[in-house]
Amino acid sequence: MPQPRKQHLIDTAYRLFNEHGYHATGIDLVLAESGVSKATLYKYFRSKEELILAVLQQRHEQQIALIQRTMEQARENAEPPALAIFDALDNWFRSEAFFGCNFINASAEYAQDDDAIHQLAARHKARVQQLIEDNLGALGEDKAPLAAQLSLLVDGAIVYAHTRGDKNAAKLAKKMAARLLVG
């Protein structure tokens, strides 16, 4: 087993950061909830910031994989891949563990754009947007701005759902996305 405790720390921290935010979640709480000792945490991570970055990095990879799977499945069903993202959002909003997007929330807490955490969030969003663009199919040469608009809709839906506690945000955004795709 490769580093089971490191992984357990990341998973526990991920949950707590979501529920209570990054600054509000102390290292001691992560340790208590995970049952790992403080010395072990600081063996795997040089600082709390490094733990945060590891959590976001893992979440980044999971999200990208989920989006790719969702789009692939949609293409098999002869549906527009870009629209399928909003169905995935809909599922997410209706799950118990929805406290907004990790990256948007991290951007909010680390608001300065030269902060490493803020920049990681920006890179994640750019990667998602690129993924959308790559899956637009044969839609003329204006793919880039269209992907940007769809990406903006994704962020809008997430924030709308979280701040207002309104789980219908994904459907709302999907209608707008569908309009964009018909040209």
Partner DNA sequence: GCCTAGGTGAACAGATCTGTTCATGTCAAG
Partner DNA sequence: CTTGACATGAACAGATCTGTTCACCTAGGC
Residues 158 to 177: which contact a copy of itself by CB under 8 A? 158-160, 162-165, 169, 172-173, 175-176
Q: Which does 42 bind (CB under 5 to 8 A by kind): DNA, a copy of itself, none?
A: DNA
Q: How big is the chain by its Cα radius of gyration, in Å?
A: 18
Q: What is the rounded CA–CA span in Å between residue 157 and residue 145?
A: 18
Q: What is the rounded CA–CA span in Å between residue 130 and residue 49?
A: 27
The window from 31-39, 67-75, 85-93, 114-122 that contacts a copy of itself (CB under 8 A) reads 114-122
Of the candidate residues 34, 63, 107, 135, the single one contacting a copy of itself (CB under 8 A): 107
The reply to whether 130 sits near a copy of itself by the rule CB under 8 A is no
The answer to whether residues 167 and 161 touch, using CB atoms and an 8 Å cutoff, is: yes
Q: What is the rounded CA–CA span in Å between residue 33 and residue 114?
A: 32
Q: What is the rounded CA–CA span in Å between residue 51 and residue 15?
A: 13
Q: What is the rounded CA–CA span in Å between residue 155 and residue 55?
A: 20
Of the candidate residues 12, 34, 63, 151, the single one contacting a copy of itself (CB under 8 A): 151
The pattern of x and - marking residues 3 through 22 that bind a copy of itself according to CB under 8 A reads ---------------xxxx-
Residues 22 to 51: which contact a copy of itself by CB under 8 A? 23-24
Maximal CA-CA distance, the chain: 57
| Site residues (vs a copy of itself, CB under 8 A) | 18-21, 23-24, 99-100, 103-105, 107-113, 118, 121-122, 125-126, 145, 148-149, 151-160, 162-165, 169, 172-173, 175-176, 179-180
